[in-house]
Amino acid sequence: MAYIDSLNEYLEFYDKNGYLQGNLLVLDKGKPIIQKSYGQASIECGIENSLKTKFMIGSLTKAFTSMLVFILQEEKKLNINDSIQQYIRDFSDSSQTTIYHCLTCTTGIPDFTSCPDFWDKDMRLTKTLDEMIDWIDKQERLFEVGTQHAYSSSDYLVLTKIIEIVTELSYEKALQRYILEPLGMADSGCLNEQEIVRGLADSYSYWGSEIKTVKTNLSFPLGAYGMYSTLSDLQIWNQAVQENQLIGEDSALKMFEPFQETYACGWDIGLLMGQKYRQHMGIIDGFFSSIKQFPEKEFTVIFLSNQAVLPVTAITKQLAEIRFGKKYTAPIETPAVLSSELREELVGKYVAENNSGSFEIILENGTLYLQIAKRYDVLYKFGLSLLESASGSRFLRADKIDETLRITKNALIYKDVDGVLSQFRKV
């Protein structure tokens, strides 16, 4: 396994620069090749992340909900081609939306998390699942059912309700009975708004340094994004999914079959460097998680982080690329002196040449900071350090994320976490 040296070099560089926080697992042929913890589970209490630390896993929950549905289909408690109305009797659906449409996010029902008031107000309010289903029922469809894909947590709340109806259990108890207990996943569950989970990490965002994140009310996410887990439990889950331990082969084939674009049933399907993979990411309350499975190669990367800004999906992708032959050599960099003249010259607002984005460099207490919007247009602030490469070029490296700004005569060349270069000019 010659690639392991490159993986370690990549991780050492990232760790040295503070670009890792959370727990990472790399599996090859079912065996842990890398299993490491980075950073702190609680900055306030000085508690380090450990392999026993629990993390909220956000929308990785959808794969569990999908699995539950297929288990219940095999037990003949439902059929994925049944209409929603067959189970939720007062659901006013003239288009005969099916369970399968919900699994593949092809209902046309808007995602409640994309509604204007959600992040400013509704995310903090206690709601019952029935209240959420009533809200979902009243929404105008974005498109005719089954004709397009639009990722929607609303669809997975509908599935949550159907699971509760056919099992006569709460979603959490159904999850325990049909998946967690049979697999021995003792450190996983579905969080509610009042429960205290021992060993659960706290979560953070970033504004020049770590800051606390605003918390979502967990009374209703449930089968959409309400679970927590550990690396060890997700290793068990990974093996169960790979080996069809919970459902038969025919069900598994259907579960991983994309419908309308690349989304299947709780999994996104794709190709990386010629290798087929299935993946999902999860983002909730400062937790960011990613799983990438390459079933034909029996290779999996799982990263659970409690820092919102970490580009977890980019990191799992880059680790997979190294596994499949991409060479990685850590850059050789040395600190450079940032003169007061250059510091003042760099301060200002910058716009991309194609007007595709902007950022601002500000000066606070003698330190340069990059202010830039990231996922969901959330604004972050990163400290900048002047470095010099082995070739002699000067550039600014950001704290916390692997992004750089190369200084040229008339512009800054911005390199993002995916390695994409963009030219920005001062305005």
Tell me what pLDDT residue 32 has: 97
Task: State the chain's maximal CA–CA distance in angstroms.
Answer: 73
**d(C-alpha 65, C-alpha 266), whole Å:** 8
Q: Tens of pLDDT along 34-53?
A: 999 999 999 999 999 999 99
Tell me what pLDDT residue 120 has: 67
Among residues 178, 164, 166, the alpha carbon closest in space to that of 64 is found at 178
**d(C-alpha 265, C-alpha 422), whole Å:** 35
Residue with tokens 């350090």, as numbered in its chain:
385
- The angle subtended at Cα 210 by Cα 6 and Cα 304, nearest 5°, is 45
Distances (CA, A) of 417 to 54, 136, 231, 401, 414: 26, 36, 24, 7, 10
Structure letter (DSSP) for residue 154? H
Side-chain half-sphere of 147: how many Cα atoms within 13 Å?
Answer: 7
pTM: 0.95
- Residue 319 has phi, psi (to 5 degrees) of -65, -40
Q: Tens of pLDDT along 110-159?
A: 998 887 777 666 667 788 999 999 999 999 999 999 999 999 999 999 99
Tell me what pLDDT residue 83 has: 95
- The reply to whether 289 falls in a domain is yes
- The reply to whether 319 falls in a domain is yes
Residues 367 and 297 in one domain: no
- The reply to whether 354 falls in a domain is yes
- The reply to whether 328 falls in a domain is no
Full domain range(s) for residue 54: 3-323
Confidence of residue 225 (pLDDT cuts 50, 70, 90): very high
**d(C-alpha 179, C-alpha 216), whole Å:** 25
The per-residue pLDDT of the chain, averaged, comes to: 95
- The angle subtended at Cα 250 by Cα 246 and Cα 251, nearest 5°, is 50
Long-range CB contact pairs, 40-43, < 8 A, 24+: 41/201, 41/202, 41/306, 42/201, 42/202, 43/202, 43/204, 43/210
What the block records as the tokens of 284 is 């909730």
Q: Residue 161: pLDDT above 90?
A: yes
pLDDT > 90 fraction of the chain, expressed in percent and rounded: 87
Residues 304 and 343 in one domain: no
Final residue in a domain of this structure, among 323, 353, 380: 323
**d(C-alpha 279, C-alpha 63), whole Å:** 10
Confidence of residue 106 (pLDDT cuts 50, 70, 90): very high
Helix (H) or strand (E) holding 368: strand 367-373
Domains in the chain: how many in total? 2
Residues 72 and 28 in one domain: yes
**d(C-alpha 60, C-alpha 104), whole Å:** 14
* Region 230-244 average pLDDT: 98
- The reply to whether 284 falls in a domain is yes
Confidence of residue 222 (pLDDT cuts 50, 70, 90): very high
Q: Taking the CA atoms of 216, 219, 223 and 229 in sequence, report the sign of the dihedral they define.
A: positive
- How many other CB atoms are there within 10 angstroms of residue 329's CB atom? 9
Residues 165 and 289 in one domain: yes
Tell me what pLDDT residue 149 has: 97
Tell me what pLDDT residue 121 has: 67
Residues 337 and 301 in one domain: no
Residues 296 and 396 in one domain: no
Final residue in a domain of this structure, among 323, 351, 381: 323
Tell me what pLDDT residue 190 has: 95
Final residue in a domain of this structure, among 273, 305, 323: 323
Residues 242 and 141 in one domain: yes
What the block records as the tokens of 101 is 């449409």
- Residue 60 has phi, psi (to 5 degrees) of -60, -20
Tell me what pLDDT residue 228 has: 98
Residues 12 and 135 in one domain: yes
- How many other CB atoms are there within 10 angstroms of residue 390's CB atom? 9
Name the E strands within 285-320: 287-294, 299-305
CATH number at residue 160: 3.40.710.10
Tell me what pLDDT residue 388 has: 93
What's CA 76's distance to the chain center, in Å?
33
Q: Residue 200: pLDDT above 70?
A: yes
Q: Residue 274: pLDDT above 70?
A: yes
Residues 142 and 214 in one domain: yes
CATH number at residue 356: 2.40.128
* C-beta separation of 91 from 157 below 8 A: no
Structure letter (DSSP) for residue 301? E
Tell me what pLDDT residue 119 has: 65
Residues 243 and 113 in one domain: yes
